[in-house]
Amino acid sequence: MERLQKVIAQAGIASRRKAEELITEGKVKVNGIVVTELGTKVSDKDRIEVNNEIIEKEKKEYYLLNKPRGVVTTTQDDKNRKTVVDLIPTSARIYPVGRLDYDTTGVLLLTNDGDFANILMHPTSNVDKVYMAKLEGIIKGEQINQLKDGVELDGEIVKPSRVKLKKVDPKSNSCMVQITIHEGKNHQVKRMFEAVGFPVAKLKREKEAFFDLKDLQSGEFRKLTPKEVAKVYGLKQK
């Protein structure tokens, strides 16, 4: 069940605010009955009319993208840079679930299903986001323990759920570290490593929840299966 004004907006008839005006003005019918109450909820089975025209509800779509570098995680960009939405040919008004920085690559989900997106982004879902970071310099156990104890970002202490040193390259004075977080603060992983003295040279999200990059090259995408969508909705019940 979804709010009537949200369904009208998702169908592309009007903005959410304009949809609310149409409802209060008595221009919307549900199953042939005029509805003027903004809190009204409707299901997929309800017939909705706006100005006596039946609206076509937008079909829900779900995608997994291996985001490449140099693409912005938004639906449109005022600098005319390529966006993640440009990489997926669909007429549905999809949008990214969360965000990855311009130079960060890896797992990114896109959809036009707000409930699906909210489940993945809500803190109570405790969704694992697994990143591989190439650091400038070679991190030591002391700094890893600092991360585990928590660093301050935006006035609060944030901790990774896991941190593991994966590879050391003395020649280039760099290392690869896998880090798992649950939050989604702006530039969070980069800022966490910088807080302990290690700038991030490259960053890739390898996994989000149970989604990974298997068989997807940079810039490639695939549709989610109904089973995967149902599994995400199952996270809400835990």
Note whether 134 and 183 are same-domain residues.
Answer: yes
Residues 139, 198, single domain; the answer is yes
Residues paired with 212 in a beta bridge? 207
Handedness of CA 33, 39, 44, 49 (dihedral sign): positive
Pick the residue with more confidence: 221 or 56?
A: 221
Token pair recorded at residue 169: 């390259």
**Exactly one of 46, 77, 101, 212 is catalytic; which is it?**
101
- Are 144 and 116 found together in one domain? no
146 with 47, same domain? Answer: no
CATH number at residue 222: 3.30.70.580
Task: Check pLDDT > 60 for residue 212.
Answer: yes
Mean pLDDT of 25-29: 97
Residue 46: which pLDDT band, with cuts at 50, 70 and 90?
Answer: very high
Nearest to 121 by CA among 39, 205, 208, 48: 208
Is 113 one of the catalytic residues?
no
Distance CA(76)–CA(74), nearest Å, equals 6
Q: Are 139 and 113 in contact (CB under 8 A)?
A: no
What's the number of domains the chain is made of?
Answer: 3
Could you tell me the two tokens for 200? 């991030």
For 152, the domain range is 128-208
Residue 29 above 70 pLDDT? yes
User: In this structure, are 107 and 146 located in the same domain?
Assistant: no
Which phi and psi (to 5°) does residue 184 adopt?
Answer: -145, 45
Reported pTM: 0.84
Which CATH number goes with the domain that contains 135? 3.30.70.1560
